[in-house]
């Protein structure tokens, strides 16, 4: 019983945060301690521009944030770390061997061809349940092997596991994030060792699997001293794939109807939660994925290019600024102008591969429009409107597919994450899908991280459903109903 205070470290592809959470049977409070940009760095590699994560900068920001957290809340009982999926650091004898690559780096095309020559795409799906994304870890490891780097490593640590290793000295692979590697069997949630062998990846590359809620280990004494923390403070495994933590905090309470979710941030992850994977040919053809959820649930979803399209457009307009705060005020202005657009705008395929790497998104939208014989947007407001209408159209298609492929009926869509604050996008989603949209909470990922820690500490109990009802009571979502054709914005 009682209340515990825990710290959630949530590293998104756009920004990271450290959030303190107080959690008890009827309590769920959040306090933001630190928020920092996560800007990748392009460096020259053999005359090309390669894209890397600034993991040391992120780790420094994590340490600073955790030190502030401990200062303001000396009773903090544990720390949980989640981040974006698929990326990793290669390690030898405990030392990081190089700067981790960003999944948007363009080195993977050749690796995809190499892997598919060893195992056909449909066989990969049948074994791993994972949708084809060119940056799945399995392809990145192939690229490392071709570059002669894989053989130098004795260990690969996924990003949250790398942070956990630096904090505690304990190496493990948290299972929800392991499910995004393309090397895990979704039925048994264990490594597909036969696949490792066929792809010539050493079977011991990833350290032992660990489940959300397990204790990773206490902080190393040097780290505890740096944070001003007591030596017994430790790190707990959470759903370390950010989307797994976000899905924990979807405030779905109506068990009689099936709800879909959109975890809306840099990406939009659109799908449903299921008890078992769907490995049908139809799911493969629709590019749906079966990622591992907390409590052995399956996250049956598809990746829709998300607000990346908007943030990257803003970068090319230099409408961003460098801090998360500046970026959000530039964004508010653009969204207001997009809400006032009344004429038609192009609806383009948001999942087109051309939008994956960093670059001039408005120019790529123009190119898509030219190829498809439709008029391009004319000003920034129209670009923003076009991006949001295109995302809403992609969501509608994905929700219909999720329902059909899983044999469920969906009448409500929960939108969680940073994008749930985008009122225009929420309304357009309700309109495009013809379904009720329930928006929020914004910090679903941190909340899911906090709840899993709180449950491990025995401060909250029960199934994900009971955790979700606590989220719904604490952060009642905002409702958007589908508008009939031609009715003006409210
Ligand atoms: P990630 O976890 O992938 O870094 P977030 O969940 O933090 O992403 O969501 C970031 C996105 O949320 C931004 O790209 C932006 O489009 C959107 N966003 C952030 N603040 C606001 C706001 N005040 N209004 C509307 N949208 C917002
Ligand atoms: C969202 C996310 C998503 C992955 C992508 C790489 O942050 O984790 O679930 O597909 O990043």
Q: How confident is the model at residue 490 (pLDDT cuts 50, 70, 90)?
A: very low
Is the distance from the beta carbon of residue 103 to the nearest atom of ligand 2 less than 6 Å? yes
Amino acid 255: pLDDT: 67
Token code pair at residue 13: 């592809």
Is the distance from the beta carbon of residue 395 to the nearest atom of ligand 2 less than 6 Å? no
Q: Which atom of ligand 2 is nearest to the CA of 84?
A: 8
The answer to whether the CB of 219 falls within 8 A of the CB of 229 is: yes
Q: What residue ranges in 237-368 does DSSP mark as E strands?
A: 258-264, 267-274, 289-292, 298-305
> Which of 86, 264, 299, 306 most suits a substitution to test ligand 2, by most atoms within 8 Å of the C-beta?
86
Amino acid 300: pLDDT: 98
Q: Which atom of ligand 2 is nearest to the CA of 241?
A: 8
Q: Which atom of ligand 2 is nearest to the CA of 267?
A: 1
For the segment 204-232, the average pLDDT, to the nearest whole number, is 97
Is the distance from the beta carbon of residue 307 to the nearest atom of ligand 2 less than 6 Å? no
For the segment 252-262, the average pLDDT, to the nearest whole number, is 84
Whether 242 sits among the annotated catalytic residues: the reply is: yes
Is the distance from the beta carbon of residue 440 to the nearest atom of ligand 1 less than 6 Å? no
The answer to whether the CB of 140 falls within 8 A of the CB of 88 is: yes
Q: How far is the CA of 426 from the centre of ligand 1 (A)?
A: 13
The bound ligand whose nearest atom lies closest to the alpha carbon of 176 is 2
Is the distance from the beta carbon of residue 3 to the nearest atom of ligand 1 less than 6 Å? no
Q: Which atom of ligand 2 is nearest to the CA of 103?
A: 6
Is the distance from the beta carbon of residue 14 to the nearest atom of ligand 2 less than 6 Å? no
Q: How far is the CA of 267 from the centre of ligand 2 (A)?
A: 6
Give, as one character, the DSSP assignment of residue 208. P
Q: How confident is the model at residue 243 (pLDDT cuts 50, 70, 90)?
A: very high
Residue whose CA lies nearest to ligand 2 atom number 11: 84
Is the distance from the beta carbon of residue 84 to the nearest atom of ligand 2 less than 6 Å? yes
Catalytic residue, candidates 68, 242, 349, 431: 242
The closest alpha carbon to 175, from 156, 164, 193, 161, belongs to: 161
Residue whose CA lies nearest to ligand 2 atom number 4: 85
Q: Which residues of 292-325 are buried (b: 16+ CB within 10 A; e: fewer)?
A: bbbeebbbbbbbbbbbbbbbbbbbeeebbeeebe
DSSP 183-205: -EETTTTEE-HHHHHHTT--TTS
**What is the reported pTM?**
0.97
Q: How far is the CA of 418 from the centre of ligand 1 (A)?
A: 3
The closest alpha carbon to 200, from 144, 127, 158, belongs to: 144
Residue whose CA lies nearest to ligand 1 atom number 16: 307
Q: How confident is the model at residue 489 (pLDDT cuts 50, 70, 90)?
A: low
Q: How far is the CA of 266 from the centre of ligand 2 (A)?
A: 8
Is the distance from the beta carbon of residue 425 to the nearest atom of ligand 1 less than 6 Å? no
> Which of 11, 16, 17, 85 most suits a substitution to test ligand 2, by most atoms within 8 Å of the C-beta?
85
The bound ligand whose nearest atom lies closest to the alpha carbon of 265 is 1
Q: How confident is the model at residue 258 (pLDDT cuts 50, 70, 90)?
A: confident
Residue whose CA lies nearest to ligand 2 atom number 8: 84
pLDDT digits 0-9 by tens, 109-167: 999 999 999 999 999 999 999 999 999 999 999 999 999 999 999 999 999 999 999 99
Q: How far is the CA of 262 from the centre of ligand 2 (A)?
A: 12
Give, as one character, the DSSP assignment of residue 386. H
Residue whose CA lies nearest to ligand 2 atom number 7: 84
> Which of 179, 238, 240, 267 most suits a substitution to test ligand 2, by most atoms within 8 Å of the C-beta?
267
The bound ligand whose nearest atom lies closest to the alpha carbon of 356 is 2
The bound ligand whose nearest atom lies closest to the alpha carbon of 302 is 2
Token code pair at residue 275: 């008890």
Q: How far is the CA of 126 from the centre of ligand 2 (A)?
A: 21
Minimum mean pLDDT range among 328-342, 378-392, 425-439? 328-342
In the chain, the percentage of residues whose pLDDT exceeds 70 is: 98
Give the 3-state secondary structure of residue 385. helix
For the segment 84-100, the average pLDDT, to the nearest whole number, is 98
Q: How far is the CA of 419 from the centre of ligand 1 (A)?
A: 5
Token code pair at residue 87: 């990326």
Q: How far is the CA of 123 from the centre of ligand 1 (A)?
A: 36
pLDDT > 80? residue 43: yes
- Residue whose token pair is 């030190």: 67
Amino acid 488: pLDDT: 52
pLDDT > 80? residue 319: no
Q: Which atom of ligand 1 is nearest to the CA of 310?
A: 16
Q: Which residues of 326-364 are buried (b: 16+ CB within 10 A; e: fewer)?
A: ebeeebeebbeebbebeeebbbbebbeeebbebeebbeb
Minimum mean pLDDT range among 31-35, 38-42, 250-254? 250-254
């Amino acid at each position: 019983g009682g209340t515990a205070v825990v710290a959630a470290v949530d590293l998104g592809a756009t920004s990271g945060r450290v959030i303190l959470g107080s959690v008890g049977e009827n309590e769920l409070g959040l306090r933001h301690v630190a928020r920092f940009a996560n800007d990748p760095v392009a460096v020259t590699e053999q005359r090309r521009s390669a894209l890397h994560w600034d993991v040391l900068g992120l780790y420094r920001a994590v340490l600073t944030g955790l030190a502030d957290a401990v200062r303001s809340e000396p009773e903090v009982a544990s720390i949980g770390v989640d981040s974006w999926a698929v990326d990793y650091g290669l390690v030898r004898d405990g030392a990081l061997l190089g700067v981790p690559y960003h999944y948007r780096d363009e080195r993977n095309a050749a690796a995809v061809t190499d892997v598919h020559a060893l195992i056909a795409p449909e066989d990969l799906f049948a074994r791993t349940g994972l949708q084809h994304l060119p940056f799945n870890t399995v392809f990145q490891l192939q690229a490392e092997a071709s570059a002669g780097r894989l053989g130098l490593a004795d260990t690969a640590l996924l990003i949250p596991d790398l942070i956990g290793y630096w904090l505690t000295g304990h190496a493990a692979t948290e299972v929800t994030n392991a499910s995004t590697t393309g090397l895990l069997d979704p039925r048994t949630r264990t490594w597909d060792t036969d696949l490792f062998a066929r792809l010539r990846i050493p079977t011991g590359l990833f350290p032992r699997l660990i489940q959300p809620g397990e204790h990773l280990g206490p902080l190393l004494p040097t780290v505890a001293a740096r944070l001003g923390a007591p030596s017994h403070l430790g790190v707990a495994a959470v759903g370390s794939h950010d989307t797994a933590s976000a899905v924990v905090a979807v405030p779905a309470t109506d068990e009689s109807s099936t709800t879909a979710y959109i975890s809306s941030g840099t990406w939009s992850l659109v799908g449903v939660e299921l008890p078992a994977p769907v490995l049908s040919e139809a799911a493969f053809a629709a590019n749906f994925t079966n990622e591992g959820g907390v409590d052995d649930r399956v996250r049956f979803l598809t990746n829709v290019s998300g607000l990346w399209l908007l943030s990257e457009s803003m970068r090319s307009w230099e409408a961003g600024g460098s801090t998360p705060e500046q970026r959000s005020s530039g964004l508010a202005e653009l969204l207001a102008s997009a809400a006032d657009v009344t004429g038609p705008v192009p609806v383009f395929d948001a999942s087109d591969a051309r939008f994956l790497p960093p670059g001039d998104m408005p120019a790529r939208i123009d190119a898509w429009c030219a190829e498809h014989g439709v008029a391009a947007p004319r000003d920034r407001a129209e670009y923003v409107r076009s991006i949001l209408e295109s995302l809403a159209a992609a969501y509608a298609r994905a929700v219909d597919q999720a329902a059909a492929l899983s044999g469920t009926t969906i009448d409500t869509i929960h939108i969680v994450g940073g994008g749930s604050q985008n009122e225009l996008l929420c309304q357009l989603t309700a309109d495009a899908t013809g379904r009720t949209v329930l928006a929020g909470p914004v910090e679903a990922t941190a909340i899911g991280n906090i709840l899993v820690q709180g449950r491990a500490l025995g401060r909250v109990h029960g199934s994900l459903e009971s955790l979700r009802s606590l989220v719904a009571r604490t952060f009642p979502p905002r409702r958007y109903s589908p508008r009939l054709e031609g009715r003006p914005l409210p």
